Amino acid sequence: MKTEFYGLGGINNERLDFAVICAAYKGKWIFVRHRDRNTWEIPGGHREEDEDINATAARELYEETGATDYDMEAVCDYSVTRDGKTTFGRVFHARVRKIGSLPETEIGEVIFLKDMPDSLTYPEIQPLLYKRVLEHLKCKVRS
């Protein structure tokens, strides 16, 4: 498996399949657990047909965390190649101010942590996306 990163717009918008949102709330990162799994994930998911990738990010953040008030920014585009097939996505960072009730979705639990949990659903991909967001945030602080 190979993961590559690109600047925003480096991938044609129509090719972006996924939105992944590294979201922070009260100084901690938000992770979610699908109700049929016992591993943790960064919030995010598939883009719906004819949906703008930014709308995907907003929808997924709400559906998976209950976040209702937040600032969100796109960080970068990425690709994952596995078994000869390449998929594309966009990574976002969100600062969540308010979380409401969790909507009825596939999410079974939401947790708030200082760092990534050990048990990840996608251990080859999620740490790389998380690291990219941390690098982005460090660059913003230096600016």
Model confidence pLDDT, tens digit, residues 110-139: 999 999 999 999 999 999 999 999 999 988
> Which is nearest to 44 in space by CA: 30, 35, 36, 6?
30
Q: What is the pLDDT of residues 63-73, one digit of tens each?
A: 999 999 999 99
Could you tell me the pTM of the whole model? 0.94
Contact partners, residue 16, CB within 8 Å, separation at least 6: 47, 53, 77, 88, 89, 90
Contact partners, residue 113, CB within 8 Å, separation at least 6: 28, 29, 31
Q: Is the CA virtual torsion 35, 107, 129, 115 positive or negative?
A: negative
Q: What is the pLDDT of residues 104-115, one digit of tens each?
A: 888 989 999 999
pLDDT for the residue numbered 104: 87
Amino acid at the residue 140? K
- Averaged pLDDT score across all residues of the chain: 94
Amino acid at the residue 134? L
Give the class (CATH, top level) of 2-142.
Answer: alpha beta
Q: What is the pLDDT of residues 29-58, one digit of tens each?
A: 999 999 999 999 999 999 999 999 999 999
